[in-house]
Amino acid sequence: MIRGIYTAGSGMMAEATRTDVTANNLANASTAGYKKDIAVGKDFRSMLIQRINDGSQRPAIGSLGVGAAIDEIATIHTQGSMRPTDNKYDLAIEGKGYFAVETPAGVRYTRNGSFTRSAQGELVTQDGYRVLGLGGAIQLGNPENRIDFVEDRRILMDDTETDTLRIVSFADESKLVKEGANLFAAAPGQQEEPDETSQVHVGFLELANVNVVAEMVNLITGMRAYEIAGKAVHAQDAMLDKAVNEVGRV
């Protein structure tokens, strides 16, 4: 019975984590370039159950799981849909590329192309991080300068090419680590590669790859599974109470 309490309790902990992941996806459903997460579960080792009152053969009944846990929080990097904004500083990537931005912790990567012009005349993210080109931080010049982003990634200032957007990709994007603010960090030993196949759309934003209806269904399913596991804990506790206070007294 104590094992049953631990088994059901581990299921409650796994479902609580799964629900947190789903809730975070829903909270970022309107965040440009957001990539949803999924909680991947695993079971502990299973035990083979055998009958013990059938002589020496002891036929097998089946296996019994002894608990569950979340193995990893995996990020799904599928392409989100595009939404036109008519803002020349909004850029969307179609393909597997990422924008490179400069942060206090080093170079980080994002799919959120909602950029703006800083007071210093630089192209920055909504959090103030400088967007990088092949020549370093992208400079936009004075406010009176006309800036054009070309879909082949070139940046023109008054019809003169000044820089090119630094779009990179990774051999295994599943190893990218989320750091908040819609930024990814490369894993130790993971190297960025120049991306030559992705297309940049000017005046568009990539929407989050979150299906709100599916996430709501996942949220309800997780909450029901948590409730069922909780009832199992209460049932096991009641049986243990009866065994100690009634059976033990006899």
- What whole-number percentage of the chain has pLDDT above 70? 90
Indicate the pLDDT class of residue 241, thresholds 50, 70 and 90.
confident
Question: What pLDDT shows up at residue 4?
Answer: 78
| Least trusted range by pLDDT, from 2-11, 22-31, 167-176 | 2-11
pLDDT digits (tens, 9 = 90+) for 65-76: 677 888 899 999
| Least trusted range by pLDDT, from 63-77, 174-188, 204-218 | 63-77
Mean pLDDT across the chain: 89
Question: What pLDDT shows up at residue 1?
Answer: 57
Question: What pLDDT shows up at residue 3?
Answer: 74
User: How many Å apart are CA 129 and CA 119, to the nearest integer?
Assistant: 13
The encoded tokens of residue 87 equal 């803002």
User: How many Å apart are CA 30 and CA 8, to the nearest integer?
Assistant: 35
pLDDT digits (tens, 9 = 90+) for 218-236: 999 999 999 998 998 888 8
More confident residue, 191 or 59: 191
pTM of the complete model: 0.83
Q: Are 161 and 155 in contact (CB under 8 A)?
A: yes
User: How many Å apart are CA 146 and CA 106, to the nearest integer?
Assistant: 30
User: How many Å apart are CA 58 and CA 123, to the nearest integer?
Assistant: 73
Indicate the pLDDT class of residue 91, thresholds 50, 70 and 90.
very high
Indicate the pLDDT class of residue 54, thresholds 50, 70 and 90.
low
pLDDT digits (tens, 9 = 90+) for 124-159: 999 999 999 999 999 998 888 899 998 889 999 999
More confident residue, 241 or 51: 241
Q: Where are the domains of the chain?
A: 2-77+210-247, 82-206
